[in-house]
Amino acid sequence: MALTGIQIFKLLPKTNCGECGVPTCLAFAMNLASGKAELEKCPYVSEEAKETLASESAPPIRPLTIGTGDYAVKLGGETVMFRHEKTFVNPPGFAAVVGTDEDDASVSGKIERFRQCQFDRVGLKLRPELFAVRDAGGDAGKFQGLAKKISDETGGSLILMSGNVDALKAAAGALKEKKPLIYAADASNVDALGALAKEVACPLAVKGDGSLESVIALTEKLSGMGIKDLVIDTGSRELKKVFEEQILIRRSALKNRFRPLGYPTMIVANEMAGDLMEETVIAAAFVAKYGALMVMSDFQPHSVFPLLLERLNIYTDPQRPMTAEQGIYPINNPDENSPVLVTCNFSLTYFIVSGEIESSRVPSWLCVQDTEGLSVMTAWAAGKFSGESVGTFINKCGIKDKVKHKSIIIPGYAAGISGELEEELGGWNVVVGPREASQISKFLRAFKPQ
Amino acid sequence: MAFQPAKQVYTGAIREVTLGSGDKAVTVGGKKVFPFHSFEGTIPHPPRVAMEVWDKDPSAEWAEAAKAPFLDVLADSAAWARKCVDQYGAEMIVVQTKSADPNGDNKPAEEVAEVVSKVINAVDVPVVIWGVANHEKDTEVMRLTAEKCSDKRLALSPVEEGDYKQVGAACLAYKHVVVASSPIDVNLAKQLNILLGNLGVAGQDIVIDPTTGGLGYGLEYSYSVMERIVQAALTQEDEKLQQPIIANVGNEVWKCKEANLSAEDAPALGDPARRGILMEAVTAVGLLLAGADIVVMRHPDAIKLVKQFIAKMT
Ligand code: B12
Ligand code: SF4
């Protein structure tokens, strides 16, 4: 919660000089609280009050960015505990570890898989975005070389993981333009890594000893050094404990505005499980419950893909479904003899159905009716995909001028509307298509409009 | 000053519901805190995984990966159920009465009930009968089975607004559990529980199914409705929502396209078996965190991953 007018008033000079444009400090405080005034308007406010006000109005969980360009990942900035309250804003980044102890084949395999893990869905590109480059042996040159190679060859964002301050200095110095996350400051090296993060202006991870107190000690120290872009690894690796910590961190940051825990968190899943399957399950838990960065041992499409879907689902706007525009969509260059299909304007449905028509290679017209973003069955149940509404749309949209035949294919799940639709369309032939979009291709290849 | 984590105040509890009879009866529910929040209160019973069995051979519809563990039993529902219990340690079985679907095989209710009874008698763990959401057909099948297996304390699902009187009456008469099913809406879930209450069905005899959407196909709606139901139950003292939740995960996940694509059809999606298994496990984990007390699952490897997850979180 932001400060109230009264709380702000207590921080003002209370001289009622009026230079801010309103007659009293109290009136000015009220305007500040409701966002109607800027603090700069008062020339007499103390430095201390300025700082308090600035930090109180800052987001409760620090937003920050790792990396640059296409693969930059924004973390933090979350404002709620539960996604039905308000959209979760910054989807967690997915990283795979690549170590200096891996041979060339292993490294290039990971690079190859990183490039392959790109999936189109609902008009978005889903993919992992980071590599966690791990220094296995304290050879600073090798570490820096590997980090640079990964960055150059993939463009992926980086987490630089080393227990050796000099190795981190070298790598972060060489790659600072890429804004890597430096991992990790603990009690033994916090001064040196704090200085490094400041010098290269890169975000820094803190690693606790498995207690939140240790994390707090580190973040307080670093924020005292003026470092703001921090990521928390509590150091715990036991699932149950990590879960508890994630809940408490998020809750303390949001409910108590407890600054020392107001940072995005990372989950080192590869150190919490025996294999990639288990890691995936662990990452899945923390996609839902508050992880901002997931580190895994590898990118395998069969493990990344389910996580990307989950991330997409959890981080969508809970109030408004994604929609496609109402209208006629020509697919595969249709002409006046091509089949006509109708569906709803829920984005997911539109992309699935148009994708299936496209891959059938059958030239077709897809008519998309505005159902306010509801899926076929949901819209049908809500009365928004009825014989009447579909009929009105088809009559008005202009498809009848584009084709010579008189057939329209409706979704199998909407079979119930066919009688009414036939009446609405006067003389048209309503054909009930398959229920599942995956059958559309087979269906279209055998279909002749009449 | 020592760090004081922010506290969540709880004022309610989920009711306990017992399924099955005898040694292998299973009690679910009872939690007084959000899912897996055992660090701030009591969770007397961990969530459970139920294994899915069909009342017909699913070979024509199932992905290779899902069929593989059961090739020897897919044509015999009772043997299939036994395999789930004996080999995979199933603590609960869900029989999906797919053959009853009027849009599909449309088998007569007597035949369906016969197969379902065989499954029930083949195992000693609790059984949930999951119908096809066709009110007339489900009512017939449920009534017949409820009578035949009156001493088993089965759970009958889905009981919807359109057939709650008929199926609810059968549950009352033979002391079975109602799975009250509503389409992703807190108020509809509550309303159905009230209607069931008016009919005389007690809180300890109701499990709710707020409807499951698959991964990438509406999961987020199910996730949020479950979180909202659990919040209302535990922090807003909403008596009528304090019921354990069941989610029919396997059926929903495995019907989606990406769980079924072969390596040839979708080389970019990696190993098809592991992809399907992880899609199922990821969905189950999400819904468990949202508040499900029972997840119904299909693939033994996905089940293993999820059971391991539950064990580590408990
Ligand atoms: C998520 C969801 C919701 C979300 C909405 C999501 C959305 N944007 O539509 C919310 C929570 C808002 C919702 C609300 C409701 N829902 Co709802 N919902 C679902 C759920 C879980 C998934 C729907 C989904 O997203 N499917 C995925 C999309 C891609 O499917 P689709 O559009 O049908 O497209 C597929 C096919 O139809 C086909 N296809 C599509 N177009 C075409 C075109 C052609 C030519 C062809 C051949 C094929 C084809 O291809 C696609 C892929 O195979 C389903 C249950 C389920 N598990 O399926 C219930 C479900 C659809 N809902 C249902 C109901 C009743 C409702 C409500 C009316 C409840 C209420 N009384 O409030 C409301 C109505 C909304 C309103 N009043 O505003 C019922 C419908 C029952 C029925 N058959 O009558 C269902 C089946 C749940 C149930 N079992 O009871 N729902
Ligand atoms: S300018 Fe500052 S001191 Fe003067 S009245 Fe406004 S708030 Fe008060």
Taking only the tens place, the pLDDT of each residue in A407-419 is: 999 999 999 999 9
> For residue B304, what is the nearest residue in chain A, using CA coordinates?
A278
Question: Which domain does B220 fall in, by range?
Answer: 16-313
Question: Is residue B9, in this structure, part of any structural domain at all?
Answer: no
Q: Which CATH code for domain A5-57?
A: 1.10.15.40
B306 within some domain = yes
Average pLDDT of chain A to the nearest whole number: 95
Residue B153 CA from chain centroid, whole number: 15
Between positions 357 and 416 of A, the ones with CB within 8 A of B are 375, 381
Q: At A2, is the pLDDT very low, low, confident or very high (cuts 50, 70, 90)?
A: low
Taking every pair of Cα atoms in chain A, the longest distance, rounded to a whole number of angstroms, is 85
Whole-angstrom distance, CA of residue A187 vs CA of residue A230:
15
Q: What is the pLDDT of residues B210-236, one digit of tens each?
A: 999 999 999 999 999 999 999 999 999
Radius of gyration of chain B (CA): 19
Nearest residue CA, atom 6 of ligand 2?
A20
Q: What is the pLDDT at residue A50? A: 86
Is B3 domain-assigned?
no
Q: Does some domain include residue B10?
A: no
Statement: residue A1 has pLDDT above 50: no
Domain count, chain B: 1
pLDDT value of residue A56: 75
In this prediction, residues A295-309 reach a mean pLDDT of 97
Torsion sign across C-alpha atoms A82, A84, A85, A91: positive
Contacts of A310 in chain B (CB under 8 A): 215, 219, 282-283, 286
A 60-119 residues inside an 8 A Cβ radius of B: 82-84, 116, 119
- Cα(A129)–Cα(A68) distance, integer angstroms: 11
Q: How does pLDDT run across A73-95, given as a tens digit for each residue?
A: 999 999 999 999 999 999 999 99
3-state secondary structure of A365: strand
Residue of A109 and A39 predicted with greater confidence: A109
Class of domain A327-446: alpha beta
CB atoms within 10 A of CB B207: 25
* Atom 33 of ligand 1, residue of closest alpha carbon: A376
Q: How far is the CA of A24 from the centre of ligand 2 (A)?
A: 6
- Considering the domain A64-314 in this protein, what is its CATH number? 3.20.20.20
- A17 annotated to bind ligand: yes
Residue B11 lies in a domain: no
Atom number, ligand 1, closest to the C-alpha of residue A342: 45
* All structural domains of chain A with their residue ranges: 5-57, 64-314, 327-446
For residue B230, being part of any structural domain is answered with: yes
One-letter identity of residue A140: A
Alpha-carbon Rg for chain A in angstroms: 28
- What CATH number is attached to the domain comprising B262? 3.20.20.20
Q: Do A420 and A390 meet the contact criterion of CB atoms below 8 Å apart?
A: no
DSSP H/E element including A248: helix A239-255
- The reply to whether B197 falls in a domain is yes
Query: Do A216 and B257 make contact, defined as CB atoms within 8 angstroms?
Result: no
Residue type, B200: G
pLDDT digits (tens, 9 = 90+) for A121-150: 888 999 999 999 999 987 999 999 999 999
pLDDT in tens, A348-397: 999 999 999 999 999 999 999 999 999 999 999 999 999 999 999 999 99
